[in-house]
Amino acid sequence: MNFLEAHNITKNYAAHKALDDVSISVPEQSIFGLLGPNGAGKTTLIRIINQINGPDEGELFFNGEKLMPKHTKLMGYLPEERGLYKKMKVGDQSIYLAQLKGIPKKEAKKMLMEWFEKFEIDAWWNKKVEELSKGMQQKIQFICTILHKPKLLIFDEPFSGFDPINTNLLKEEILKLRDNGATIIFSTHNMESVEAVCDSIALINNSKKILDGDVADIKKEYSTNTWHLELAGEVHPSTVLPENFEVLKKTFKNEKTNVQIKLPKDVRANDLLKHLIGKNMSINSFHEIVPSMNEIFIKKVKG
């Protein structure tokens, strides 16, 4: 079941078309990557989902209902441009933002303190926001975004400015949110993050959707039937492989031969293994070289 659907969304700003007939389907309790280069239209679509702006054409559906203002309270939005009040104390501001989402003050403070301790930022409760690093501020805004346990979470570049340790901390929390029932839209330029957390994606470029689907299925679709093979000892591929096998790369190190091989379209990996075994080859490892999401992203955007 799809928790959020956008049908044929078009949005124009003066002479600029920000979105051109874009449709997406976000499965329930999943992490959906909304991808694209700068200026592609991602932020415009996010703002339309949040009902900050409206589409010129098209419709959106939230959990089976046509998207309406009442659904806003069931969303949590972490924008790329953070928006904390710099002169306000961290604790006071966090409680204020929680109350805006309908959480009573006493309950909000208790919930916030639990999260602050978990993220090891409780010592900053009485500090002003301007005294905090960018990463600290992002932790606070993340907590305020998820505190009211929204059904739909939208994260726009959530790892921006984080070191690897805090990136991993946030990544684990996002995965837990999904596992506990949240549906998540995750917008980023970092393709490694996409592979780590996203179940499915849509790629927008120049206001149009140019790719969508399950991450594993997309990677399989763009695979080139290229395999990595490690053989014991020094082996010359031309002496053990059929002529129609393309050797892309060969190295010999530490008494091991590593070869990248592109198989013909009508040849399966098992066929290659059977052939090598028949040649009495000692095979240490054998695996497919699958294109990364970064490679697919570049190919689609430039192609």
For residue 257, what is the domain's CATH number? 3.30.70
From residue 41, how far is each of 12, 20, 135 by CA, in Å?
11, 9, 26
Q: Which residue segment(s) compose the domain that 70 sits in? A: 2-220
Do residues 154 and 250 share a domain?
A: no
Do residues 110 and 41 share a domain?
A: yes
Average pLDDT over residues 87-113: 95
Do residues 208 and 253 share a domain?
A: no
Do residues 144 and 276 share a domain?
A: no
Domain count, the chain: 2
Angstrom distance (rounded) from CA 212 to CA 178: 20
Q: Of residues 223 and 112, which shows the higher confidence score?
A: 112
Q: Residue 224 has what pLDDT?
A: 87
Do residues 113 and 231 share a domain?
A: no
Closest CA to 233 of 287, 276, 281: 281
Is 47 inside any structural domain?
A: yes
Do residues 257 and 203 share a domain?
A: no
Q: Residue 204 has what pLDDT?
A: 95
Is 90 inside any structural domain?
A: yes
Average pLDDT over residues 82-101: 91
Is 208 inside any structural domain?
A: yes
Is 299 inside any structural domain?
A: no
Average pLDDT over residues 188-213: 92
Share of the chain above pLDDT 70, in %: 100
Do residues 199 and 86 share a domain?
A: yes
Residue at which a domain ends, from 193, 220, 247: 220
Do residues 186 and 261 share a domain?
A: no
Share of the chain above pLDDT 90, in %: 69
What order of strands is seen across the sheet that includes strand 256-262? Answer: 246-253, 256-262, 226-232, 283-288
Q: Give the pLDDT band of residue 172 (cuts 50, 70, 90).
A: very high
Do residues 109 and 249 share a domain?
A: no
Residue at which a domain ends, from 205, 220, 235: 220
Do residues 110 and 232 share a domain?
A: no
CATH value at residue 40: 3.40.50.300
Q: What are residue 156's DSSP bridge partners?
A: 187
Q: What is the pTM of this model?
A: 0.88
Average pLDDT over residues 121-149: 92
Do residues 163 and 232 share a domain?
A: no
Q: Is the pLDDT of residue 58 over 80?
A: yes
pLDDT in tens, 212-234: 999 999 998 998 889 999 999 99
Do residues 183 and 214 share a domain?
A: yes
pLDDT in tens, 71-91: 999 999 998 877 788 899 999
Residue at which a domain ends, from 220, 249, 269: 220
Is 296 inside any structural domain?
A: no
Angstrom distance (rounded) from CA 20 to CA 231: 51
Angstrom distance (rounded) from CA 62 to CA 6: 9
Judge whether 258 and 228 are in contact, CB under 8 Å.
Answer: yes
